[in-house]
Amino acid sequence: MKEHLPIEREEDVYMAVAVARRMMLGMALDEMQQQMVLVSVAELTRNVVVHANASGAFTCEILPGEIQVTVTDEGPGFPELLQDVLRGDGVSSTRGLGLGLAGVQRLMDTFSIQTSEKGSKIVASKRESLGQNQTAGTRNA
Ligand SMILES: Nc1ncnc2c1ncn2[C@@H]1O[C@H](COP(=O)(O)OP(=O)(O)OP(=O)(O)O)[C@@H](O)[C@H]1O
Ligand SMILES: [Mg+2]
């Protein structure tokens, strides 16, 4: 299952969040894990609006055992060193939710950035954790 959406304005951030929320239904991700994915989707897509001329796209794909989100843009690329961005000190302008890319890297299981003066691509995924959302309530108590 795969969905694709252009990111061209602020409201597309919320569209992307809604798509991810819907696609996670039925996955073995508990509420907290789902929120981690949704916050990450909001951060990544808002960065396209704020830092990449609002010219990009969001793809969400359910793969065996994981959800993968890909955010591409045709912006100018990252002006700073990626290692500084991912350390998270000093680069966050706190225009978004305040977690920034350092937060996204922390919230997701895999995370990668490719960037050039022609644009950027970020891929992140979160794995299902088997049994995690099986609470005591599901047993024959
Ligand atoms: N898609 C992008 N294209 C180009 N530069 C980007 C992109 N996304 C992020 N950046 C650069 O990386 C920096 C860090 O991004 P990050 O999302 O961590 O923080 P922020 O967007 O500045 O603030 P916030 O905490 O509100 O997200 C940005 O300030 C920007 O310079
Ligand atoms: Mg940001």
pLDDT in tens, the chain (141 residues): 999 999 999 999 999 999 999 999 999 999 999 999 999 999 999 999 999 999 999 999 999 999 999 999 999 999 989 989 998 876 666 555 578 999 999 999 999 999 999 999 999 999 998 665 444 444 444
Q: Is the CB of 120 under 6 A from ligand 1?
A: yes
Q: What is the pTM of this model?
A: 0.90
Q: Decide whether any atom of ligand 1 lies within 6 Å of the 105 Cβ.
A: no
Which residues are registered as beta bridge partners of 4? 59
Question: Would you list the domain boundaries of the chain?
Answer: 2-132
Rounded to an integer, what distance in angstroms lies between the CA atom of residue 115 and that of residue 73? Answer: 9
Question: In the CATH scheme, what is the homologous superfamily, with its name and number, of domain 2-132?
Answer: Histidine kinase-like ATPase, C-terminal domain (3.30.565.10)
As a whole number of angstroms, the distance between CA 1 and CA 13 comes to 20
Q: Which residues of 66-104 are buried (b: 16+ CB within 10 A; e: fewer)?
A: ebbbbbbbebeebeeeeeebbebeebeeeebeebbbbbb
How long is the chain? Answer: 141
